[in-house]
Amino acid sequence: MLVSASNGATQLCIFEQWIVPGTGAPTHFHPVEEVLTVREGEAEMWLDQERIIVSAGQSLLVPARRTHGFRNSGT
Protein backbone atom coordinates (compact mmCIF):
# COMPACT_ATOMS: atom_id res chain seq x y z
CA MET A 1 0.00 0.00 0.00
CA LEU A 2 1.21 3.45 -0.82
CA VAL A 3 -0.92 5.22 1.82
CA SER A 4 -2.74 3.58 4.74
CA ALA A 5 -3.12 3.63 8.52
CA SER A 6 0.32 2.01 8.74
CA ASN A 7 1.95 5.25 7.59
CA GLY A 8 -0.36 7.74 9.28
CA ALA A 9 -3.48 8.02 7.12
CA THR A 10 -6.78 8.09 8.99
CA GLN A 11 -9.32 8.40 6.16
CA LEU A 12 -7.43 7.35 3.02
CA CYS A 13 -5.94 4.23 1.48
CA ILE A 14 -4.03 4.20 -1.81
CA PHE A 15 -2.61 1.06 -3.34
CA GLU A 16 -1.58 -0.35 -6.71
CA GLN A 17 -2.49 -3.75 -8.07
CA TRP A 18 -1.08 -5.58 -11.05
CA ILE A 19 -3.83 -7.78 -12.43
CA VAL A 20 -3.17 -10.76 -14.70
CA PRO A 21 -5.28 -10.61 -17.90
CA GLY A 22 -8.65 -12.24 -17.39
CA THR A 23 -8.61 -11.80 -13.61
CA GLY A 24 -9.71 -9.04 -11.26
CA ALA A 25 -12.04 -8.40 -8.34
CA PRO A 26 -15.51 -9.94 -8.05
CA THR A 27 -18.57 -7.82 -7.37
CA HIS A 28 -18.32 -6.21 -3.92
CA PHE A 29 -18.92 -2.90 -2.14
CA HIS A 30 -17.32 -0.61 0.46
CA PRO A 31 -18.78 1.84 2.98
CA VAL A 32 -16.66 4.60 1.37
CA GLU A 33 -15.96 5.92 -2.14
CA GLU A 34 -13.33 4.25 -4.29
CA VAL A 35 -11.46 5.43 -7.38
CA LEU A 36 -10.31 2.78 -9.86
CA THR A 37 -7.66 3.95 -12.34
CA VAL A 38 -6.17 2.02 -15.25
CA ARG A 39 -2.49 2.81 -15.69
CA GLU A 40 -1.79 0.54 -18.69
CA GLY A 41 -3.96 -1.46 -21.06
CA GLU A 42 -7.68 -1.66 -20.38
CA ALA A 43 -10.10 -3.09 -17.87
CA GLU A 44 -13.74 -4.05 -17.84
CA MET A 45 -15.39 -2.42 -14.84
CA TRP A 46 -18.92 -2.59 -13.57
CA LEU A 47 -20.98 -0.41 -11.30
CA ASP A 48 -24.20 -2.16 -10.28
CA GLN A 49 -25.41 -3.64 -13.60
CA GLU A 50 -23.61 -1.21 -15.94
CA ARG A 51 -20.38 -2.48 -17.55
CA ILE A 52 -17.81 -0.26 -19.26
CA ILE A 53 -14.32 -0.55 -20.72
CA VAL A 54 -11.81 1.78 -19.06
CA SER A 55 -8.55 2.51 -20.89
CA ALA A 56 -5.11 3.63 -19.71
CA GLY A 57 -5.30 7.03 -18.04
CA GLN A 58 -9.02 6.78 -17.28
CA SER A 59 -10.70 6.35 -13.90
CA LEU A 60 -14.04 5.27 -12.51
CA LEU A 61 -15.41 6.87 -9.34
CA VAL A 62 -17.40 4.33 -7.34
CA PRO A 63 -19.81 5.91 -4.85
CA ALA A 64 -19.98 4.49 -1.33
CA ARG A 65 -22.09 1.35 -0.88
CA ARG A 66 -22.46 0.71 -4.65
CA THR A 67 -21.66 -2.75 -5.95
CA HIS A 68 -18.74 -2.85 -8.36
CA GLY A 69 -15.93 -5.00 -9.67
CA PHE A 70 -13.32 -5.16 -12.41
CA ARG A 71 -11.17 -7.43 -14.51
CA ASN A 72 -8.16 -6.96 -16.74
CA SER A 73 -9.67 -7.29 -20.21
CA GLY A 74 -6.30 -7.02 -21.96
CA THR A 75 -4.07 -9.77 -23.24
Q: Is residue 6 part of a domain?
A: no
Residue 3: what pLDDT? Answer: 84
Domain count for the chain: 1
DSSP string, 1-64: --BSGGGT-SS--B------TT-EEEEE--SS-EEEE--SSEEEEEETTEEEEEETT-EEEE-T
Its domain, for residue 39, covers 17-72
Residue 67 falls inside a structural domain: yes
User: Is 68 part of a structural domain of the chain?
Assistant: yes
What global pTM score does this model have?
0.85
Q: pLDDT (tens digit, 9 = 90+) per residue, 27-71?
A: 999 988 899 999 999 999 999 999 999 999 999 999 999 999 999
Say which CATH number the domain at 37 has.
2.60.120.10
Residue 2 lies in a domain: no
